[in-house]
Structure 1
């Protein structure tokens, strides 16, 4: 997984759709969903860390965009 879209496709395999209309809020919700999948043992460590990396990057970019540092 390399993009936020890849993570969204990955989540859809589990019936998870995270659309709120606010990018930062969607990323936060995605992080919560990811943590839940990991805690339940549904996903592998590899999938978890790939998603976490993408979501962390996307969160950072969303914050920078909001603060105008781009």
Structure 2
């Protein structure tokens, strides 16, 4: 997984569409959804880790923009 779009496509496979309206909030909700999918063992550890890394990077970028 390389970017936020890839994470969105992963979530879409499970019927999860996230749009809150503010990008940083979208990223936070996507992270929660990923946690739930991982706890339910619906995604592999590799998918989980790579998606969380992408979300962490994107969250940091958005947080820096608001400063």
Q: TM-score normalized by structure 2?
A: 0.97
RMSD: 0.5
Runs of 4+ in 1 over 6 A off after TM superposition: none
Runs of at least 5 residues in structure 1 that lack an aligned partner in the other structure: none
Find the counterpart in structure 2 of residue 6 from structure 1: 6
**Equivalent position of 2:31 in the other structure:** 31
Tell me what 1:15 maps to. 15
| Local SS of the residue matching 1:20 | coil
Measure, in 1, the Cα distance between the counterparts of 2:9 and 2:39: 20
Which residue does 1:48 correspond to in 2?
48
Equivalence for 1:59: 59
Higher-Rg structure is: 1
Q: Distance in 1 between matches of 2:26 and 2:62?
A: 11
